[in-house]
A = this chain, B = another copy of it.
Amino acid sequence: MARVTSFDIAALAGVSQPTVSRALSGNPAVSAETRARVFAAAEALNYKVDKNASNLRRQATRTLALLFFEDPAPGETQINPFFLSMLGAITKRCAVAGYDLLISFQQLSGNWHVDYEDARRADGLILLGYGNYLEYLPRLEQLVQQGTHFVRWGSLRPGQLGTTIGSDNLGGGLAATRHLIERGRRRIAFIGTANEGAPEFLDRCEGWRAAQAEAGLVADPALMRAANSSEEEGYAAARDLLAAGAAFDAIFCVSDLVAIGAMRALAEAGRHVPDDVAVVGFDDQPAASLTSPPLTTVAQDARHAGTVLVETLLDRLRGEIPSPQALPARLVVRGSS
């Protein structure tokens, strides 16, 4: 395991160490012949640049860090598969750009133990996941003060810190609710947490409200129930809705998981989907097409989102000031509506 350094290959190629460095990095001041000798020697000794030394010298890491915020739910939380696809796209885009990716799962409730540390190990940060937005706002301010570059997956609002990329949640909520109205539904319930702590969900809720207003309908507060993005809460919320005795012929759910839970509650109560109640979810998770009936939902392109996140961050690192960007959310109609 004797370390192969640039000196070794310099000796083999009969040149100096700096020449090796220049040759390998494509510096044009090196003659073609010398370059060839250097490459041959490097190949022969299986030489690889020591990134620690290289980064130290160049004062850059060529590494991005991904901070994933998990819901602080106790025990085994079911992580959203949406983010996994995103993760795949992110790693790929990083690899293509020659960046490494450092990943860290964060408990939002606990200490945000990375902040400065990761800011130093990486050239830029990608912030991802669900959780109370207000809770980590102070951290974002901190990052901005440090001059740390970061992009965030979330809901677009004016005057936000850093660059935010997110789905067109409002548009998705509009599309879903318009669809239900077109199908003749008039009493549309909404299940999902809608407050400033979860801006994505708030936007989807706003779409629900606006689509009804367009059609001359009134979004009935009595048909709203809170639920975070879990099946259990969706189930509980739907049961509560049923128990309250309110009349409704459709539910727009803030996520597929919630919708799946709601459908379970409906089935138990003997309500048929979609004849009695139509259900629409959000995300288009793999599980969405497995329910019976298959779930109508609003699809977000996770892989595209991941790619955009990385590209936006790289833009920032290059000194550009990329604008926030809303990615299309597309209605996928299946059997549940």
Contacts and interface: CB of A to CB of B under 8 A. Distances in A.
A239 B324 CA distance: 48
B119 A105 contact: no
26 contacts: A46-B118, A48-B116, A48-B120, A49-B119, A50-B56, A51-B52, A52-B56, A52-B120, A53-B56, A70-B88, A76-B303, A79-B81, A79-B85, A79-B88, A81-B286, A83-B84, A87-B103, A88-B105, A91-B104, A95-B104, A95-B114, A100-B102, A100-B104, A100-B121, A101-B102, A101-B104
A263 B56 CA distance: 56
Contacts of A87: 84, 103
A113 interface: yes
Interface string A111-148: 00111111111000000000000000000000000110
A78 interface: yes
A223 B78 CA distance: 35
> Which of A49, A56, A100, A291 counts the most B-chain CB atoms under 10 A from its CB?
A100
A103 B105 contact: no
Contact of A118 (B48, B102, B303): B48
Contacts of A81: 79, 81, 84, 286
Nearest to A114: B95
A243 interface: no
Counting contact residues on chain A (CB < 8 A from B), the size range is 35 or more
Contacts of A146: 1
Nearest 7 pairs between A and B by C-beta? Answer: A48-B118, A52-B56, A52-B55, A91-B105, A287-B287, A84-B84, A1-B147
A117 B1 CA distance: 11
A173 to B, nearest CB: 24
A120 B84 contact: no
A109 interface: no
A101 B101 CA distance: 8
A298 to B, nearest CB: 17
A121 B62 CA distance: 12
